[in-house]
Amino acid sequence: MAPRPDEGERFLDALKASPRPGAPPASDDAAFLHGVGERLRLLRARRGMTRRILSRQSGVSERYIAQMEAGGGNVSILLLRAIARALGVPATDLLADQPEHAADTALLDDLLARLTPDQRREARALLARHFGAQPHPGRATRIALIGLRGAGKSSLGRRLAEQRRVPFYELDREIEREAGTELREIFELHGQGGFRRLERAALERLLATGSGAVIATGGSIVADAATFALLLSHCRTVWVRAAPEEHMQRVLDQGDLRPMQDNRQAMKDLRAILASRESLYARADHILDTSGQTLDESVNALVTLLK
């Protein structure tokens, strides 16, 4: 059992008070802790988890998580393991420093940084064509919509499926069907790891049918590398995006007031989630911006995009 947060905080105080023999310079320690905090914040944001939710699922105090993300938490191994389990990742994902890039990799990174978003997608397609796994034969008949909640994926997906005369699926509903319970209970009972396993199983079941379909995915599917790779290889993907303010307003218009329960942090959290996932969403084949558009306008733009 992970120690209680107050024990972890006493452990931190003890470490600060007792220099370790042979420890690296303090500046190196600070840089390492800062890196751990950055990785924790990124992993949490990609999963759309607030500090409060992570605290509840890990048993680690919200204050201590905030301290870690600020680079000031010299966390114990047991607390780190509890946080990693709540995030559904190995503890090494929080600890591992980024390896040094080889010269060729650094040159590629520099080249890609100079490209426009459209050029980067073209470059990725070229590399995948020459060096990656071959796309699934049924990929062209399946369309998957990705993006944050409130972008319009479900409304667009239903209309697109009607036009293409194929089934429409909301992946979150398929996950609930897989589990026999609602998403909220899935997270409460099984945590992030259990949800990811069910998400993968539901997607594999849909893809196994081999027929055309339109699939609206959950916003955090990009946080699981293996499941997202499966989606990219088996479906043409469209990133449905909108301005953060429109994302929030559309969710509220649906009658879901949860985003405003912590009004001061709601938009800040949404922007952080979007920023952490932007490079992953950008791996989609197409990007559709629905900001300021009616549903009919967005549907027409999507149909044109897919042609």
Does 293 count as an annotated binding residue?
A: yes
Whether 151 has a binding-site annotation, put simply, is: yes
Tell me: is residue 292 an annotated ligand-binding position: no
DSSP conformation class of 285 = S
Annotated binding residue at 211? no
Check whether 258 is labelled as a binding-site residue: yes
Strand partners for 238: 145, 286
Burial-class residue 230 by CB neighbours within 10 Å (0-12, 13-18, 19+).
middle
Work out whether strand 236-241 and strand 286-289 pair parallel, antiparallel, or are unpaired: parallel
The answer to the question of whether 291 is labelled as a binding residue is: no
| Residue 155 annotated as binding site | yes
35 assigned to a ligand binding site: no
Say whether 154 counts as a known binding-site residue. yes
86-123 as b/e, with b when 16 or more CB fall inside 10 Å?
Answer: bbbbebeebeeeeeeeeeeeeeeeeeeeeeeeeebbee
Give residue 271's identity as a one-letter amino acid code: R
Residue 150 annotated in ligand binding: yes
Q: Is residue 72 marked as binding?
A: no
218 assigned ligand-binding residue = no
| Residue 256 three-state SS | coil
Instruction: Please report, in range form, the residues annotated as the binding site for substrate.
Output: 172, 196, 219, 277
Instruction: Please report, in range form, the residues annotated as the binding site for Mg(2+).
Output: 154
Instruction: Please report, in range form, the residues annotated as the binding site.
Output: 150-155, 172, 196, 219, 258, 277, 293
Instruction: Please report, in range form, the residues annotated as the binding site for ATP.
Output: 150-155, 258, 293
